[in-house]
Amino acid sequence: MTIKMTALRFRWAWTTLFAIAVFAVLAILDRELRARSGFGTLDLQSARTAKEVQTITTAWMLRGGAAGAGFNLGFDYLFMPLYGFAFYYSGLILRARFAPRPGIVRRIWSLAAAVPLAGAVLDAGENALEASMLFGRPTDIIAAYAYAVSSAKWLCIFFGLVLLLGAIVTLFIKRKAESEPA
């Protein structure tokens, strides 16, 4: 399946803008949750043991942050496909720029573009593990799995940010063939 560059850039721009908007809402809500209870949902992502998870959830229960934490975890599911596809489209833009013809380099760029999508899937798994600890009984094993999945997710997100910055740079740099008159 091929997609025209104008359609690709349109999808990239809109998913990126919506991802930024949803991220801003999540950041504000998490900051408010942290101010109210002492812990945000980002703190839950760094919890490595059941005791740390229990400390965070107890603080949320005692200080009225449980509903906010649950909303943040649910709202994050809206953010996942937005940032995943924004970064994916960034990778496709870079692939079109640096590997316009079929071959091994183009395949490598295609795989690189898919890394942020894997990060969004890992994010969904992380949230599911965290929700299981919030609604059930946290264990050290589940907390360790959630932390490991979270770490892998952050690696994919960092890679996606690099792709996004590369795609932004391509907006300002023209190819040699485009800049020279025919």
∠ CA 138-80-104 to the nearest 5 degrees? 115
pLDDT tens-place string over residues 72-129: 999 999 999 999 999 999 999 999 999 889 999 999 999 999 999 999 999 999 999 9
Is residue 8 predicted with pLDDT exceeding 80? Answer: yes
Q: Which segments of the chain does DSSP mark as H helices, in order?
A: 5-37, 41-45, 50-62, 66-98, 104-135, 140-172, 176-179
Distance CA(126)–CA(148), nearest Å, equals: 9
> Greatest CA separation found in the chain?
70
The residue assigned the tokens 């900051």 is: 31
User: Across residues 20-35, what is the average pLDDT?
Assistant: 95
Give the integer Cα–Cα distance in Å for 128 and 130: 5
- Which residues, 6+ apart, have CB-to-CB distance to 124 below 8 Å? 77, 80
Task: Say how far apart CA 39 and CA 103 lie, in whole Å.
Answer: 49
CB atoms within 10 A of CB 19: 21
Query: pTM for this one?
Result: 0.88
% of the chain residues with pLDDT over 90: 74
Residue 69 has pLDDT above 80, yes or no: yes
**82 vs 62: CA distance, rounded Å:** 33
| Per-residue CA distances from 31 to 43, 47, 124, 137 (Å) | 11, 18, 21, 26
Q: What is the pLDDT of residues 128-139, one digit of tens each?
A: 999 999 888 899
Phi-psi bin for 181: left (phi > 0), alpha (psi -120 to 50), beta? beta
